[in-house]
Structure formats: structure tokens, C-alpha cells
Amino acid sequence: MALKKKKIALVAHDNRKSELADWAAVNMESLKQFDLCATGTTGSLLEKKLKQPVQKFQSGPLGGDQQIGALIAEGEIDMLIFFWDPLEPLPHDPDIKALLRLAVVWNIPVACNRATAEFLFTSSLLLTDYRPVQPDYEAYKNRKI
């Protein structure tokens, strides 16, 4: 039985797009083994750089972060690579926090910088059928309000 192709979401703030594109170019061969999705501008940049299709959502400030977050909540995203800019306040900071929060809630691997992305991509688990433990939220869902 073939392994299900993993889906990786790639996001980068304006000041980090070139760094993400450089990282992606270095990891081009590995990235070919995955379905990729990204927020708008980042997706277009990566598609040109990688010569590989990238499912593109809206730009982050227009809802792209939320679109990816929804896919995480539905179990459709296996990993998030999000090179965010810690020095630049952005008008959609609540969306960014929500996206990162959902990645933690649903226990998917997240890289917020190049070093962590390198660790994830050199992990022996990357090309296996590894699935993170899914948190049990039944007690939370069934709580009395």
C-alpha cells in the first residue's frame, strides 16, 4: 500500500519570502515528494522557483492564513513551514496567531525559521507514514456550558 502523499503549507511574511524561497530551492528535490500549498504571493514565488505546482490561497491579510488554518483543523495539512517576521508588526497579527495556534492544537510539525525547517526535513520521520498523535478533545466538546 502506497503512503498517502503529505501536504505541506508554506507561508512567509514579506521580509522572509526570499529566505523561504532560498530554503525551498535547496530542498527542491525533497519538496517534489509532497503536495504544497501556500498563501498567495508566497505560492506564486515558490511555484516559479520550484517549477512545481503549488495550491495557492488568498494573501495572508486577505484570509489565506485562515484558509490554511481551516485545512489544519480538518486534518488536511501535515506540516506548516511559516517563516514569519518577528520584528515587523502586521495588521493581521491575530490571523497569524490563530494559524500558529491551530497548528499546536492539532499537533502538526511547525517550523518558524530556517533552522527548524532544516531539522524537520532531515528527520527520519519525514518520508514515513508517521501521523502525530491526535489530541482527544471529547471532554472539551462535551463540556456543559
Residue 145 lies in a domain: no
Q: Is residue 112 in a domain?
A: yes
pLDDT, position 2: 64
Average pLDDT for residues 10-17, to the nearest whole number?
94
Given a cut of 90, whether residue 10 has pLDDT beyond it is yes
| Residue recorded with cell 506548516 | 80
> 144 versus 35: which is more confidently predicted?
35
Q: Pull the grid cell for residue 108.
A: 502538526
**What average pLDDT does this structure show over 41-54?**
96
Is 128 domain-assigned? Answer: no
- Residue 132 falls inside a structural domain: no
Tell me if 29 is assigned to some domain. Answer: yes
Please count the structural domains in the chain.
Answer: 1
Total-model pTM: 0.92
Q: DSSP letters along 101-141, please?
A: HHHHHTT--EESSHHHHHHHHT-TTTTS---PPPP--HHHH
pLDDT value at residue 137: 85
Assigned domain for 130 exists: no
Residue 92 scores a pLDDT above 80: no
Question: At residue 140, does pLDDT exceed 90?
Answer: no
Could you list the residue range(s) of the whole structural domain that residue 38 is in? 7-123
**3-class DSSP assignment, residue 56:** strand
pLDDT tops 80 at residue 89: no
Q: Is 78 a catalytic residue?
A: no
SS3 81: strand
pLDDT for 1 equals 60
The region that residue 77 occupies, defined by phi over 0 for left and psi between -120 and 50 for alpha, beta otherwise, is beta
Residue of 35, 65, 78, 95 marked active site? 65
Which CATH number belongs to the domain containing residue 49 in this structure?
Answer: 3.40.50.1380
